[in-house]
Amino acid sequence: GCGGGDDSSSGSGSDDKIVLGFSQVGAESGWRTANTKSIQDSAKAAGIELKFADAQGKQENQITAIRSFITQKVDVIAFSPVVTSGWDAVLKEAKDAGIPVILTDRSVDSQDTSLYVSFLGSDFVEEGKKAGQWLVDQYKGKTGTVNIVELQGTTGAAPAIDRQKGFADTIASDPNLKVVKSQTGDFTRAQGKTVMETFLQSTPKIDVLYAHNDDMGLGAIEAIEAAGKKPGTDIKIITVDAVKDGMTALSEGKINYIVECSPLLGPQLMDIVKQVKSGGTPEKRILTKETTFTQEQAKTELPNRQY
């Protein structure tokens, strides 16, 4: 069976079944795969027929997919935009065709907000802020500079830019907190490890590591251990995402703090789809229920993590 594993190849005409076209960014990380799975599973559970398209990280593919959904006359379109800009034209086409659009996970910067009915997702800047705030709290009242290294996501990707910004803005309040090195780790474990190795080699003293996702943080932990240091103790580590592997490391004390960015948008999305289809107007901005985890919280939460 392919992917979602459902057998209904194309809308066999049962009028009451809602058809949802969903264009996913790609499959760039385990987080994203969990996200995809959540959407596919909850569509099935909600009895919604899902047309799923994977854009492999390319905006042009997403535009193509959305257009194709319009051609296929789906009932609702949802997508996680690869980038923030550049959706006006295709969204207008959807609007003209009378198909409501829901944004998930990431937002768009269209000035005309009537182009989509709702945005369901997290706020990356907010995530960066949460990470920064924890750090500020940790070092409140202490003196002496704190050397921070940052593992950024893929250069140019929206979460990377926003998580960096939110973090930087927040820690600016404490002049002792200084980002001494910041380099992209491409959101991957291997890059996270390699870059961290070099950070360790080229920076005399590192107090804190801020990684834009768990995977890079996990890679960095390997590097830190190989260098004979204790992650979480010698170097404090903050990451974003809270995937299972990250939570495990957190509960083991190798990570100090994780800001959650939940991929499990499926159920919420299906609710909104049904609401839209039955003529309701959902809220324009629906934030996913997200939290943050300390090491203690992780221990209790860990058994519940499925992804």
In the region spanning residues 163 to 182, those forming contacts with another protein, defined by CB under 8 A, are 181-182
Query: Closest approach of Cβ 33 to another protein, in Å?
Result: 3
Return the SS3 of 217.
Answer: helix
Considering only residues 73-112, where is the footprint of another protein by CB under 8 A? 73, 83-90, 92, 109-111
Considering only residues 239-298, where is the footprint of another protein by CB under 8 A? 245
Out of 41, 46, 126, 183, name the contact with another protein by CB under 8 A. 183
Q: What is d(CA 303, CA 301) in angstroms, rounded to the nearest whole number?
A: 6
Instruction: Please report whether residue 53 would count as binding another protein according to CB under 8 A.
Output: yes
Instruction: Please report whether residue 41 would count as binding another protein according to CB under 8 A.
Output: no
The number of beta carbons lying within 10 Å of the beta carbon of residue 9 is 7
Instruction: Please report whether residue 127 would count as binding another protein according to CB under 8 A.
Output: no
The count of residues interacting with another protein (CB under 8 A) is 89
Instruction: Please report whether residue 147 would count as binding another protein according to CB under 8 A.
Output: no
CA atoms within 13 A on the CB side of 214: 23
Query: Closest approach of Cβ 106 to another protein, in Å?
Result: 11
Instruction: Please report whether residue 195 would count as binding another protein according to CB under 8 A.
Output: yes
Out of 14, 71, 143, 278, name the contact with another protein by CB under 8 A. 71
Q: What is d(CA 70, CA 89) in angstroms, rounded to the nearest whole number?
A: 13
Q: What is d(CA 88, CA 236) in angstroms, rounded to the nearest whole number?
A: 43
Segment near another protein (CB under 8 A); pick from 135-143, 218-226, 257-265, 269-277: 218-226
Q: In the chain, which ranges are continuous DSSP H helix? A: 30-45, 59-72, 88-96, 124-138, 158-171, 189-202, 214-226, 244-251, 266-277, 295-301
- Minimum CB distance to another protein smaller for 138 or for 222: 222
Query: Closest approach of Cβ 291 to another protein, in Å?
Result: 22
- Output the CA angle 163-169-129, nearest 5 degrees: 50
Is the CA virtual torsion 42, 48, 49, 54 positive or negative?
A: negative
Instruction: Please report whether residue 11 would count as binding another protein according to CB under 8 A.
Output: yes
